[in-house]
Amino acid sequence: MAALLLSALAGTSCAPPGPVGEELDVSVERIDGAPLPMRSEHTAVLSDAGNVITWGGESVVGTGRRADGAVFDIDTSRWEPLSPSPLAPRTRHVAVWTHEGMLVWGGAATEGSLSPASDGAIYDPEADAWRRVSDAPVGMRSAMAVTSGSWVVIGGGDTDGGGRRTLLLYSVDADQWSRIRVPLRIEAMSAADEGTVIVTGVGDDGAVAVYRVRLASEQLEAIPVDGDRGDAPDGLGAAAAPDGTVYITATSSLATLLMRVEPDSDTARVRTFPDVGFMVPVDVRQSPLNRGRMWWHAGRLVSEAVGHVTTIDPESGDMAATALYDITDDHYCGAGAPVVMRGATIVVWSGKNCYEGDTSLVKRGVAVTLPE
């Protein structure tokens, strides 16, 4: 990976994320046996069969880009390699699960260059086969992707034109792309009800901005924030509950803000918690590097960020936290590795150590199961 990531990791604290109410009670199982070289900046998705599919990345910092992958069965701890991909080796790409399989798209595909790619392919695990998709109107690296119905939305990445104000909408059924410019720097997004995505980031005034994207009509709607948006955010995250309500977390040095966007609501309602212990998945100061993920589980928001797992109850504000390097036997944290969550289990494989300055790549992983 480029030297920029090393400097970012050097500035990333591995200390616990501030004061929290309790230590998160988890069980831990080590993951070994992958038929792949160690790597970072790869991708991982959860298939509809409940397996983790990982692909791409780079096995040497700044070089050694990969075009290989494997399927990991969480229940049996077995790995199976994927058939060869038609895509060039790449890093900082996106991957997302669709109704036709895993879409891999974009990233940096030219060795020694960060020029963003615009091509992609879909992998069908049942047939163990790939097919190319049409090229997007613009390339992007270090982006995020979400699925809503038969649509994929990609954004928050760097393009040749600079900023992170571009959304790409891809119709899987029609194999067609469209492009939308948005008036904010995209930092997090989440699918809401089918055909709708909530996008959040930093607006021109430096505060949190929220928009709804209606995919079929390509309509962009500003969602006013009902309450104090606080200072310019240090971190952001977004995740949807099963009823389609999207929760946005924003942190500053003073408080944790929780914004609630209900389906078809005209406003994002804010609750403020004075405890700053919740570690959101996106550090705005380092973005788009070191992005984690956030999910809804058992009535709580669960966030993973550079090896830290924190939870918050959106009603009470109660928080709990743990750090992977504290609960693994070899201080592993998986920096630079993607994370997926199935049920109560978080899975991360390979990436880097981040304990006491060690940023070496590792060929291992961990499955962390949260309390139900």
pLDDT at 329: 81
Per-residue pLDDT tens digits for 167-219:
999 999 999 999 999 999 999 999 998 899 999 999 999 999 999 999 999 99
As a whole number, mean pLDDT of residues 38-50 equals: 97
Who's near 191: CB < 8 A, 6+ residues apart? 146, 147, 148, 153, 197, 198, 240
7's enclosing H/E stretch is helix 3-10
Residue of 243, 56, 241, 213 lying closest to 148 (CA atoms): 213
pLDDT tens sequence across 317-344: 999 999 998 998 888 889 899 999 999 9
pTM (2 decimals)? 0.93
Tell me, what CATH number does 261's domain have? Answer: 2.120.10.80
- Average pLDDT on 282-304 reads 93
Give the total number of structural domains in the chain: 1
- The segment with the largest mean pLDDT, out of 30-34, 330-334, 351-355, is 30-34
pLDDT of residue 16: 39
76-105, pLDDT tens digit by residue? 999 999 999 999 999 999 999 999 999 999
Range of the domain at 194: 3-369
Q: What percent of the chain has pLDDT over 70?
A: 93
Three-class SS state of 149: coil
pLDDT per residue as tens digits for the range 100-147: 999 999 999 988 888 999 999 999 999 999 999 999 999 999 999 999
Secondary structure of residue 87 in the 3-state scheme:
coil
The beta strands (E) that lie in 274-312 are given as 282-283, 293-297, 300-305, 308-312
